[in-house]
Structure 1
Amino acid sequence: MRQKPNAAGLIAALDTPDAARAEGWAAAVAPHVGLVKVGLELFCAAGPGVVGRIARHRPVFLDLKFHDIPNTVAGAVRSVCADRAAAPAMLTLHGGGGAAMIEAARRAAEDTLGAARPAILAVTVLTSFTAAALAETGVAGGPAQQVLRLARLALAAGADGLVCSPQEVSRLRDAFGGAPLLVVPGIRPAGSAAGDQARIATPEETAAMGADWLVVGRPITGADDPAAAAAAIAASLPR
């Protein structure tokens, strides 16, 4: 397992239920990105086999955000790692699932794939959440405080990294240094619509804060030329 780039890398999010479209996007953006993301929409529509097909173009960031009892999550991790040739490079689960769940996920990945296991990433607070939305769920103190709380728990339990919004990257680097992988959605190039994202920043800003991987979806896949859009974002990142 080694998914830490030398400089901020780009992940293209293939968010569509259409497997053929996702494969076309993956082929088009492959020269410009380090990984491609398969999320719930594509995975549920096309089934687990789509991961292997997408992985022919670029390593896969499998963003399924597992959140269940430890035994169930361990079983799910074993399932997505069962085919070594189609195993993801990175895999998400919710930090809110607790230490035992995170520990079980990491053990299952190691038992199945050994050193070739995917990086285990804990999702902290979704980028669509504002302080008010988080408070509605019973969590006080705002996103930044909750992100730090879940980050400490997840890293102590064996997570390799974290998924956070751009607004928390600097705080996490200050708290934990350069070791954890920081994978950051909520990236919007200047002039792009925010959509349903609440805590956002530009690619250049997020890279400068210390992010390892920037996850970009609609600004790439919604462009007239996804390959050119990916190339432009990649070219804007520091090297």
Structure 2
Amino acid sequence: MRGPLIVSLDVWNREGLFKIIDQFPTDEGMTVKIGMELFYGEGPTIVKELLNKGFKIFLDLKLQDIPNTVKMGMMQIGRMGVTYTTVHALGGSEMIAAAKEGLELGSEEAGVPTPKLLAVTELTSITEDALENEQNCKLDMVDQVVSLAKLAKRSGADGVITSPLEVSSLKEQVGNDFLYVTPGIRPANFPKDDQSRTATPKQAAEYGSSALVVGRPIIRAEDPVAAYHKMLEEWNYAN
């Protein structure tokens, strides 16, 4: 059994959220992702509601600021009882270490497990061209992602968010004792939308992803439950 297939709830309000969530059995044991759109619209109460329903939460706010500001923000997140949360690896080693400290302090105070800290490497929407000409990065995509992952690991992160296409290189160069959580997951023949570096669940399994994040192919499906289970089966039983 591999890690979770995390359903990305990319909706903007409570009504849209429960229109999707209420279709799933209460004992499904799913991990769901709450991002900026929903969190900024509904606030921490929506996290509590989903936790009370038995869902595990990936709170994906991608913090990036000076270390003390990130630490204070992560103390609040640490108190919530979520399972995963994120910072940008480009924020640097001091910021990542401060984020981890904040999570540990907040979760200890609340008496809940410390969330796994995942560092975003390069967004799956970033192309090689954007990396070179907009970020002015001298490394190619794989080397850049590996470099950021090594930084994140040294700084106390538990894993990274990365395209599935970089995972095999990451496992070789960063190690197996680190989480590689991969968005940009699409069924075969599904449009890429605004994602540039994508893979199917089967391909992600073969590359060595630790967990998947899937949004539009599930939440915009005519039958989200069936779409979820189809992708989950492909993910769990790929060779």
TM over 0.5: yes
> Is structure 2 residue 118 aligned with structure 1 residue 121?
yes
> What is the RMSD computed on CA atoms of the aligned residues?
1.6
Flag the structure with more relative contact order, 1 or 2, with Cα contacts below 8 A and sequence separation at least 6: 1
Q: Distance in 1 between matches of 2:70 and 2:23?
A: 33
Which residue pairs with 1:12 in the alignment? 7
8 A contact 1:95–1:124 mirrored in 2: yes
Distance, in Å, in 2 between the alignment partners of 1:57 and 1:21 is 19
Corresponding residue for residue 3 of structure 1:
none
Query: Which aligned pairs between 1:28-43 and structure 2 lie closer than 5 A?
Result: 28-29=23-24, 34-43=30-39
Q: Which residue of 1 aligns with 2:85?
A: 91
User: In structure 2, what is the equivalent of residue 160 of structure 1?
Assistant: 158
Residues 124, 195 of structure 2: 8 Å contact kept:
yes
Give, in whole Å, the separation in 1 of the partners of 2:166 and 2:90. Answer: 17
1:103 matched residue in structure 2: 97
Residues matched between the structures, number: 231
Of 107, 112, 130, 1:133 maps to 130
* Alignment-derived partner of residue 22 in structure 1: 17
Are the aligned partners of 1:81 and 1:112 in contact in 2 as well (CA < 8 Å)?
A: yes
- Cα deviation digits, residues 126-145 of structure 1 (max 9, x gap): 00000111121221222211
Alignment deviations for residues 86-109 of structure 1 (CA, whole Å, 9 cap, x no partner): 421000000000111111111111
Q: Tell me the residue number matched to 1:235.
A: 233
Following superposition of structure 1 onto structure 2, how do residues 211-230 of structure 1 map, counting pairs within 5 Å? 211-230=209-228
**Structure 1: 5+ residue runs without aligned partners?**
1-5
Residue deviations 1:61-80, cap 9 Å, x none? 01100000000001111122
2:76 counterpart of 1:79: yes
Question: Does the CA contact (< 8 Å) of 1:32 and 1:230 recur in 2?
Answer: no
Residues 28-64 of structure 1: CA distance to partner in whole angstroms, max 9, x if unpaired? 3466564100001111111121111122241100110
In structure 2, give the amino acid aligned to 1:112: G
**How far apart, CA to CA, are the structure 2 residues paired with 1:103 and 1:232?**
38
Tell me: CA distance 1:213–1:79, structure 2 relative to 1, closer, same or farther (3 Å).
same
Rounded to whole Å, the distance in 1 between the matches of 2:131 and 2:28 is 35
Report % sequence identity.
39
Whole-Å separation in 1 of the counterparts to 2:156 and 2:225: 36
Distance in 1 (alpha carbons) for counterparts of 2:203 and 2:172: 16
CA distance in 1, matches of 2:157, 2:7: 22
Unaligned runs of 5+ residues in structure 2 are none
Where does residue 204 of structure 1 map in the other structure?
Answer: 202
- For residues 169-188 of structure 1, the C-alpha deviation after alignment (integer angstroms, 9 at most, x for no partner) is 10111112221011100000
Deviation digits for residues 169-209 of structure 1, max 9, x if unmatched?
10111112221011100000102110000000100110121
In structure 2, what is the Cα distance between the partners aligned to 1:174 and 1:158?
19
Q: Is 2:121–2:160's contact at 8 Å kept on the other side of the alignment?
A: yes
State the 1:11 CA deviation: 0.4
Q: 1:139 to 1:33 in 2, by over 3 A?
A: farther
> Please, what TM-score do these two structures have when normalized by structure 2?
0.91
Q: Residues 45, 97 of structure 1: CA spacing in aligned structure 2 closer, same or farther, 3 A cutoff?
A: same
1:26/1:58 contact within 8 Å kept: no
Number of the residue aligned with 1:44? 40
